[in-house]
Structure 1
Amino acid sequence: MEELVTENPELYRNFTRTDRDIFSEIVERVKPCIQKKCTFWREPLTPGLRVATTLCFLATGDSYKSLQYAFRVAHNTISYIVPETCRAIVAVCRDEELQVPQTPEAWKQVAHGFEERWDFPHATGAIDGKHIRLRNPPLGGMHYYNYKKFFSMILLAIVDSSYKFLNVDVVAIGSKSDGGVFAQTCLCEMLAKQEATLPQPEALPDATNGVPVDYFLLGDDAFPLRNYLMKPCPKRGLSKEKIYCTTTD
């Protein structure tokens, strides 16, 4: 790790998905949770090594047996290190890093990012699902088997214009759709009941008609069209001429 950060910082960032300063900050913050005591028999693995192993596992998806050669730590030891370090990172950073906006002003700040960076006004977040591959749990049947033909759980996430997570949900079985998972979340219920403190509808920037437009999330075709959720035109059942007109419009 020291050689990598000194000789090629870009590869270091690719290896851990962080730069040296952020890596050091993570280590210092989780150190009280993962630091082990020295014993008469041996010295414990350092917190830095534990964090590096965990970040590399999360970044690459390599197996524990592959990682044992890179870090010179037995794969059965890594199988304890990764879950423990992940729990420590979540405990330390969850309240700071995963915060759904609680006020109209906070939602407007997110929308401002989408307008400035992506030229998409009134967008308060982008939502999508990701299938996390896993072994089928005991008695899981086909509940975890998804349309991509492997077993998984669904990570449903909302991010801002800079790809920073605002909300994460990882409880749904792989056979469900992204839209179905979202429909069962507390956030969706709050949005449907207008309890999510979204800003009041306003006219779009430079709009001449002054018609108020809702603030909304951005999703793909897997999600339903709602006042609080915008999706692309599906184009199903349209002729080539209508598809062309929809695309150019």
Structure 2
Amino acid sequence: MMPNRRRENAIIGLGVIALAQVRSRKRKNFWIKNCLLNHDEECPMPLLPELQENNPDDFRNYLHMTDACFHQLFALLSPYIKKRDTCMRTAIPAEQRLIATLRYLATGRSLQDLKSTTGISPQALGLIIPETCSAIIQVLQKDYIPFPSNPQQWQDVAAQFQHQWDFPNCGGAIAGKHIRIVPPPNSGSDYLNYKGFCSIVMLAVVSATYEFLFLDVGKNGCNSDGGAIMQTEFYKRLQNGSLNLPPAEENVEGLNFVFVADEAFALGENILKPFPMRNLTPEQRIYNYRLSRARRVVENAFGIFSSRFRLFLTPINLAVYKLNHVVLCCCILHNFLLRNSSSYLASVSTDEDPAVSGPAEEAASRPSVGVMTGLEPGHAELPSQDAHDIQQKYLEYFVGKGAVPWQEIVADYLI
């Protein structure tokens, strides 16, 4: 009898403790705050229509996007982000979902901070923003990240480089940047880069008109430029010949079709890099200048990108899989705005002829180190003799048939 009574007393005691713990829990006074429940009436978003109508400059500053571009984007996305009302509450309108997402991308403000200006809870914003970014990718990626798939499309890209930057047979400029992140729990030093902060790597191929042609996002920040590109699908296809690049006999002067890069990448039969900056001959200085002039489009593209989407100026506190979608979404929006907003490049210098502006202005238009940190130069493998021969052929072309009148003056001024 005694063991049974002790067992009963123990059970009763555990029940009393459990009941006390339940009663001690703080009860929620309400399911949702009134200011969030009535967000249509009590948040600043209803002021946006007035800004659109009477103060277009203020509206553009709010979203970093013109009214026309916003309505064009909303018309495309509305069917994909609209939600149904339920018996519990009305759905957040599709327009407010898009505005909240664009405001987050444009400012990088915390979700808690955005609550005050959108009237949407941080918990809801944490779902709305990735969902809207995924919808933008789904709707726009095919048309606005136009990675070439056949020789003619590559030749179209090369024609832009020839016209804009006097560089023949060029399929794009390659570079990578570190995107600051708040590291995932228990990640150790996996995301710690050579600058001492945690990041993921964004590697891009950019056209002559600053559009992103190819993107790879998500590699750990400890990778160098060369190490990052070797892990991408682009590099694998470049190596196995499945990019469908134009054959040399169809190119200017029978030269290889190439991509321009900086010192961090390995010289290859389809990747050109500058000569080392020591004991340069006059011809090598001209080659370096001409290559740098074409390659700077990728640095300018990153500068425009980070200026428009200021989210990338602060550490981003999102799960890595969500962050990959956010980065890709911003790149798609970058290309969308390039094509549809005449004011998007208003502050960017695109001098084509330094003979008109002078070498000092040409030097001033060269990209400086931006707020997005570049990748660390890696220890690349020794290039083949064929790669050296192709580099030499381009040098001979730039000082011969492909020379431009101002190149000697500018090359001497810059180097």
Corresponding position of 1:51: 98
Q: How does 1:1-249 map to 2 (within 5 A)?
A: 1-201=48-248, 210=253, 212-235=254-277, 238=278, 246=285, 247-248=411-412
| Equivalent-residue separation in structure 2 for 1:225 and 1:133 (angstroms) | 29
1:118 to 1:67, Cα distance in 2 relative to 1, 3 A: farther
- Distance (Å, rounded) in 2 between the aligned partners of 1:221 and 1:7: 50
Q: Distance in 2 between matches of 1:213 and 1:94?
A: 32
The range that moved more, 58-67 or 173-182, is: 58-67
Distance of aligned partners of 1:221 and 1:2 in 2 relative to their CA distance in 1, 3 Å threshold: farther
Ranges of 4+ aligned residues in structure 1 off by more than 4 Å: 202-205, 241-245
1:152 to 1:200, Cα distance in 2 relative to 1, 3 A? same
Length-normalised TM-score, structure 1:
0.85
Tell me which of the two structures has the higher relative contact order, counting C-alpha pairs closer than 8 angstroms and 6 or more residues apart.
2
Larger-gyration structure (1/2): 2
Structure with more of its chain in helix, by fraction: 2
Number of equivalenced pairs: 241
Unaligned ranges ≥5, structure 2: 1-47, 286-410
How far apart, CA to CA, are the structure 2 residues paired with 1:154 and 1:199? 29
Query: What's the TM-score, normalizing by structure 2?
Result: 0.53
- Aligned to 2:259, the other structure's residue is in SS state strand
Give the match's secondary structure for 1:169. Answer: strand
Q: Which has the higher strand share?
A: 1
Counterpart CA distance in 2 for 1:122 and 1:13 is 38
Q: Name the Cα RMSD after superposition.
A: 2.6
| Mapped partners of 1:243, 1:15: distance in 2 | 49
CA displacement 1:138-183 (0-9 Å, x = unmatched): 3311110112221111111222122222111113111111221111
| Deviation at residue 125 of structure 1 after TM alignment | 1.2
* C-alpha deviation, 1:68, in angstroms: 2.1
Structure 1 vs Structure 2: percent identity of aligned residues?
Answer: 34
Call closer, same or farther: CA 1:3–1:179 in 2, change over 3 Å.
farther
Deviations 1:211-242 (A, max 9, x none): x222212222222222212223341xx25x86
- 1:98 Cα deviation after fit: 2.2
What residue identity is the alignment partner of 1:118? W
